Structure 1
Amino acid sequence: MAAEPRSDLAALRADIERLLAEPGSPDSELVRRLQLALLDLSRAEAGTPEYRVVLAAPMKAGKSTLLNALLCQDLLPARGSAMTMLPTRVVVVPLGRQRRPVLRLAPHTAAALQELQSRLLHPENEAAVRQTTRGQQELAHVMGASCQRLAVAPVVGPYRGYRSVRRRLAMLNDTVRLAALVLPAGVLHAAVRDMQAPEVVVPVPWMAQDVHRYGHLVLIDTPGPDETLLSGVLDGLVIREFKDAHELLVVADATRVGSTAEASVRRLVQNARRERGPCGVLVAANRADLVRGPVPLRAVQRRVDPFEGPADRAVATNARLGLSAAGVLWPALSGSPGREHERAAGFLELVFPLDWEEVAPSVRPAQLRRWCTEAWHRSGVAELLDRFVTPLAVRPGFSALARTLAEVASVCRDLARNSGSDKRVAQLARQCDGIQRTMEVH
C-alpha cells in the first residue's frame, strides 16, 4: 500500500482510539463494532491485512468436503461421524509460490493441546479414556503410541506436506474431542480459553500468480453450531471467528431444508451481523444432487440468512463430486504420487456406481480428464469459486479495508445522530470516505 493511505490509516486509528478513551458511554454495540474495526485497521497499517471468509454449517452438511473441494485437495480431515472441533484458518496462496501445505500452531495453542494430551495420559483418567474410546473407535488413535510420543515432544510444528498436515489436524481435533468427553469442563475451558485457531497455508491452482496482491484471503473452517460438545466450553472459539468475519459462507444441506439444525446457523449469522455490522453472506446448498428437481435457492437462503441478502448469492453444490473431480484434475496437490489410478477409480465409482468396474478399463486419460472437467463445473464448486471466492483473492486486503472503512463510517454516522452535533465523530466518517477515495486512486 502507498505511504499516504497508510499514514492516513494511522491517523484514523489514533482518532478512533482517542474517541473510545473519552469519558461517557456511547452505545455499547456501536463501540464494540469500532473496537473490531480497530483490529483490521492495525493489520492494514502494518501491511498484513486479510479478508476472512468463515464457513458455517450444521453438523454433517458437507462443510469440510466443500472446503476441500474449494482447495482442490482432500486436505482437511473428515469422516462419517462429526470431526471438526477446532476452528481452522486456511490461508490460500498461488500454487507457484508454494508447493506444499504448511500447518502452524501458535506456541500457547500448542502448549494448551499438549496439556490436554498429558491429562488424558494421566493414570486417573485411564478408565474413562478406555471406556470412551471403546464406544467411539475413531478416537482410539489419540491414545496410541503416537500420542504417547506427542505427550513428551513439542507440538508447535510447523508441519509440512499433505500427509503430515492432514494427520496432524485429525490428531488435534480428536484430542480436543476426547478431552471434551473425558475431562471436567473447567479443565477443558482453562486449556482452550485463549487458543488461536491452527493455521494452514495451502497452495491452490485457481489463484493467478501474476496479479498484484495486498493481504491474504483466509477461509475459516468451524465446527457445526449444533455440535453438543461446544456448549459452554468451545463455543467461545467459534463465536470469536464469526465476530471477526468479513464474509460468511453458509453451507446448507439441500436434503434437509427446514430442519431445526438450520436455526442454530441462523442465530450465528444474526449474531455475527449484530457484532460486525454489514457482513456479507454467501449460501452453498450442498448435496443438491440428492434433491429431485432444482434446489429452491432463495428459500434456502432465507432459512439461514435472517437479513435476506441479494438473491444471487446462493449456489447449488455437489461438493463430493467436485472434490473427486479435483483429485484427478490436480493430482500433484495430494502429495501422493503414483495414486492417480486410485483417484480415477474413485471418480468413476462415484459417477458410474453400478458398472464402474466394467467402464474403467476402456477409459482413456483424455476422456477421463474431459469427464472430470465436466463434473467439476457441474458440481457447482467452480461457480462458487468463479463468482465469489476468486475475485476476493485478487486484492483481499483492499476488500477487507474497504469493508472496514465503510463500517467505521456507518458507526460514526450513527454515533453522530445519537450524540447530536458531534463534529469530531462526523469528521471520522469523512476521514473514512477520504481514505477510500485515495485507495481507488492507488
Structure 2
Amino acid sequence: MVAEVLKPNVQDLQTDVIDLLEQISELMNRASTALSSDTSGNKYAEFEQQIRDEAKKVKHLELRMAIVAPMKAGKSTITNAIIGQEILPSRNSAMTTLPTEIILNAELTEPVLHLSAEVLSVFQETLLALRNKIEDLGMETVQEKLAQYPHLAKMPQQIQQWVGLTITAESKGCDHIINTLTSLNDIVRLCSILDPLADPIQYLTDTPRIYTPFWQLDKTKQQPKLGNLVIVDTPGPNEAGENLRLKNVVAEQLSKSSIVLIVLDFTQLKNEAAENVRKDVQKVIELRGKDNLYVLINKVDQRQEKDMTPEQVQQFVAAEFGIGDSGDTGRVFEISARRAFTAASFLLELQHNPNINLADMKTAKALAEQVFGIDWEEDFEEATARDLQTKAERLWKKSGFDPFLNGAITALMAEAAPRCLKSSLKVAHGRLLELSNDVQLRSSAINADEVKIRQEVGELEIDLQSIEQCRHQLQEIDSIKSNLYKRLEKILEDIKKQVQDSLKTYFYEEEYQRADNIKKGGMITQSFFSWASKKFNFVEIKSASSGIIEFTSMQKAEHFGEQAIASAKSSIIEPFLENVRQQAKKEIKQSRQKIQDSLETETKPIIERARQRLNENFHVNLSLPTPNLENESAGNIQVRISQKTKLVDQGYETKVIEKRDFWHWFGLVKKKEYISVKLPDKKEDYYIVSLPEIVDKSNQLIEDSIKNIKGGINKYLDEDFKQHIDRFFAELDSYLNNYRDTLLQAQQDQKKQTEERQKLVSELKSLQTEASQNIEKADSYLQRTSDLIRDKK
C-alpha cells in the first residue's frame, strides 16, 4: 500500500493526480497495443483517450467565482481591478442584464470576447423581433416609452436602419469588448421596455465569455497554477429591472460557482442595511446558501472618523447576514475597488510600455489625481514614472485587494479543486478496475479447463437473457408513470385555480388593499393599483370598481395594458408557476426512487449470481434526470383598446350685453349687463382599458404556461425516463457482455501456439501488476481528496 506520511496541500495533490493520470493513460496505451489483435484493444484505446481528457480537466481546472452586487456598489470596478484594465461596461444606470464569464489566462496578450452560436442566434432573432415591434408602435410611441432611458434613445433608429448593431462572434481588445457587451445588455433592456412579455434571456444556456490576461503586482510570489480562474459577472438583485426574468439565469450561474462574492457599499451600510441590502443578500443566500458566500465591503476609502471601524463592520455583517462571525473572519474583506483599479491599470500599462512618457499614458492622470490630492496637477508635472510607480504600488496595497484575492483563491482551491480531482480519479479508478479484472480473468482462463469456460459462457448468456426478460416484464414502471401523471395533473389544476383567484384579488380588491394595513397585519404583495399609481402617473381611473380605466391617448392605454399583464406575470403568475415546478419535481423525485428500488429488486439477484461466479462487484446505478419544466415564452398577448367619444360639459362663459333701461340715464345710454351663457358640450375622444380583459389575458398566460409545463412532464415521462432506464439496462448488458467476450477471447487464446500463448500471459500479468499499483495510488489520492473536502466542511 502507498503510505502518505504528510497530508499535502491541494497544489501538491493536483500534481500527483496529473502524474498518475498520465501513467494510467500510458498503461491503457500499452493494453491497447498488446491486445490490438482482438476487439478489446479498441476498448482500451478509448479508455486512453478518456483518461487524457480527465488529465486536461485537472490541468486546466476552472475555479468559478461569481460576483453579485446591488446596483452601483462597484461590481464592475472590482472585476476590472482584478484584470488590471477596463473590460466591463458601466454607467450610472443599471448595466448588467446577462451573466458574463471572465476567464483569466496569463498566457494571452489581449482580451478576447467569444459569443457562442447559440448566443448569436438568440440576439439576432431578438433584433429582428424588436425591428418589427418598433415598426408596429411607431417611432413617436417608442420614444415616449424610452423617455426615462436616455441611453437607449438612439437604439430604435439604429435597429430600423440596422446601423452599428451587427453582432460578431469574436471581439478583440477592451474597447470592442465593451461596445459588444453594452449592445447585448441594451438589447435585452430595450426588449423588456418595448415588449414586456418577450424574454430573450430564457432561451440562453450559454453566456458571453471573455478570455483575458491579468495583472499581478509581484509575479515572484505567484501561486502554482491551479487552472483558470473564472469570474462570473451576474446581475445584482436590484439591478434586473422590471420584466427581466433573470432569477433562473442567475441561479444557474451561482449553482455552478464554487464561491459567491457579494459586494456591499460601505457608505450605505447603516442607511439601507435594515431594508434593501439585507433583502439583496438574502436573495443570494436563497439561491446559493451562505456556506460559500463571501462579503466585500467596497468604498472603505470614504471612511470618516464617525463611521464604523473594521471591527464594527465585521460585527455588523455577522449580525445582519450571519456571515463572518468571530470564528470565521476570513469571509469579510474591506476593499477600495477604485484605488485597486487605478493602481492596477497604471501598473499594467507601465509594464506593457516601460519607456512611455507619462503625458502619453492613458492611466497616469487618474492615478495622479488619486495619490496627489488637491494639488495633483502641479505634482503630476514634476513627477517621474518611477514616482508614480511607487505611488501606485502603495495605493494597491492600501486598497485591500491582496488579502481579498489571496483569501478568495484559497477558498476556491479548498472548495472546487478537490471535487474536480475526485471526479477525475473516480473515472480513472473505474477504468483501472475494468482493465485489471479483464486481464486477470483472461490470463487465468487461458489455462483453465475448456469445458468450464464454455459452461461459464453459457451461464452468462442465461444472465443476459434474464436481464432482457426483466426489462420487458417490469410493468411497475408503467404503473408508476401513470400514477405520477395523474397526481401531477391534479397539482396543476389546483394551482391554476389558486392563481386565477389570486389574479382577481390582485386586480379588483383595491379598497381592501388600500385599507388600514396596520389593523390587517400588513400585506405581503403590493396591490396592482398601488403599483400602477406609482408607475403610471398619467393613469386616470374613472371607474375602477367597474373595471373600466380611461386614458387620454391610445399610446398610454396600450402601454398600460402591456405593463399590467407583465406586472401580473412577475408578481402573481411566475411565483405560482415556480411552486408548480417545485411540486412536480418533488413528485417525480419520489417516483424516481420507486423505480430505482423496483429495478434494484428485480436485477439484484441476476447481478449477484454473476458477481459470485466472477468474483466482481458490479457498479451499475440507475441515474434518472431532473426534468426541465421552465415554461416557454407566452407569445404576443395584447389588450384591446376601445375608443369612445363623450360630451364634455364646458360650463358657462360670461358675456356682456347692452340694452336700454329707462332707469339708466332715462334710456339715453345703453346699460351693460353680465350674463352667464352655457357653452356647447365638447366632443372628446377617450380610450378604455377593460380590467376584466386584462384578467382574461393573464389567465390565458396561465393556460399557456400550464400547457407548456404539461408538455415538459409528458416529454420527460415518455422520453427521458425511457432513455435512462434503457441506459441502465445497457450498462448491465455491457458488464455481462464484457466478461462473456473476455471468456470467448480466452477460448481463442487457448488455440495459440505455446510460445505465443506464454508471451500473452506474461503481458497480461504485467498489465495486471501495473494496474493494481495504480489502483492503490488512486485509492490513496481519493482518500486525500476526501480529507480535503471534509476539512472544508
> Is TM (by shorter chain) over 0.5?
yes
Bigger CA radius of gyration: 2
SS of 1:223's partner is coil
2:387 alignment counterpart: 367
SS of 1:251's partner is strand
Matches within 5 A, 1:270-419: 270-274=285-289, 279-293=291-305, 294-295=309-310, 296-302=312-318, 305-306=321-322, 308=324, 310-331=328-349, 340-389=360-409, 391=410, 398-399=417-418, 401=420
| TM-aligned CA distance change 1:5 to 1:341, over 3 Å | closer
1:40 alignment counterpart: none
Superposition deviation, residue 139 in structure 1? 2.0
Superposition deviation, residue 314 in structure 1? 1.6
2:151 alignment counterpart: 138
Contact 2:419 2:785 in 1 (8 A): no
Contact 2:100 2:233 in 1 (8 A): yes
Q: Which amino acid aligns with 2:782?
A: I
Superposed CA deviations along residues 295-321 of structure 1, whole A, max 9, x for unmatched, are: 333135326744556112222111112
TM-score (norm 2): 0.43
1:106 alignment counterpart: 116
Superposition deviation, residue 231 in structure 1? 5.9
In 1, Cα distance between equivalents of 2:350 and 2:386: 17
Which of structures 1 and 2 has the larger relative contact order (alpha carbons within 8 angstroms, sep 6+)? 1
In 2, Cα distance between equivalents of 1:325 and 1:340: 17
Superposed CA deviations along residues 384-407 of structure 1, whole A, max 9, x for unmatched, are: 223333x578899635526989xx
Superposed CA deviations along residues 158-185 of structure 1, whole A, max 9, x for unmatched, are: 1111211111111111111111121132
| TM-aligned CA distance change 1:211 to 1:267, over 3 Å | closer
Superposition deviation, residue 134 in structure 1? 4.0
**Where is the helix percentage greater, Structure 1 or Structure 2?**
2
2:196 alignment counterpart: 184
In 1, Cα distance between equivalents of 2:294 and 2:422: 16
Superposed CA deviations along residues 211-266 of structure 1, whole A, max 9, x for unmatched, are: 76454211111111012526661221111111222101111111111252222332
2:208 alignment counterpart: 198
In 1, Cα distance between equivalents of 2:360 and 2:415: 34
Contact 1:113 1:191 in 2 (8 A): no
In 1, Cα distance between equivalents of 2:342 and 2:369: 10
Superposition deviation, residue 439 in structure 1? 9.2
SS of 1:204's partner is coil
* Unpaired stretches in structure 1, ≥5 consecutive residues: 9-42, 406-414
| TM-aligned CA distance change 1:246 to 1:320, over 3 Å | same
Contact 2:278 2:321 in 1 (8 A): no
Range that drifts further, 317-326 or 206-215? 206-215
In 1, Cα distance between equivalents of 2:63 and 2:415: 5
Range that drifts further, 319-328 or 123-132? 123-132
Contact 2:63 2:413 in 1 (8 A): no
In 2, Cα distance between equivalents of 1:436 and 1:132: 61
RMSD between aligned residues: 4.1
Contact 2:254 2:287 in 1 (8 A): yes
Within the candidate set 777, 782, 788, 1:435 is matched to: 782
Contact 1:100 1:161 in 2 (8 A): yes
- Is 1:265 the counterpart of 2:275 in the alignment? no
In 2, Cα distance between equivalents of 1:307 and 1:392: 15
In 1, Cα distance between equivalents of 2:236 and 2:351: 27
| TM-aligned CA distance change 1:140 to 1:231, over 3 Å | closer
Contact 1:66 1:319 in 2 (8 A): yes
Superposition deviation, residue 288 in structure 1? 0.6
Matches within 5 A, 1:142-153: 142-143=155-156, 145=158, 148-149=162-163, 153=166
In 2, Cα distance between equivalents of 1:124 and 1:7: 65
- Is 1:86 the counterpart of 2:98 in the alignment? yes
| TM-aligned CA distance change 1:290 to 1:191, over 3 Å | closer
In 2, Cα distance between equivalents of 1:84 and 1:54: 13
TM-score (norm 1): 0.73
1:30 alignment counterpart: none
Superposition deviation, residue 156 in structure 1? 4.5
SS of 1:270's partner is helix
* Unpaired stretches in structure 2, ≥5 consecutive residues: 1-16, 25-52, 425-592, 598-616, 622-777, 789-793
| TM-aligned CA distance change 1:249 to 1:404, over 3 Å | farther
Contact 1:217 1:392 in 2 (8 A): no
Superposition deviation, residue 141 in structure 1? 4.7
2:550 alignment counterpart: none
SS of 2:260's partner is strand
Contact 1:85 1:173 in 2 (8 A): yes
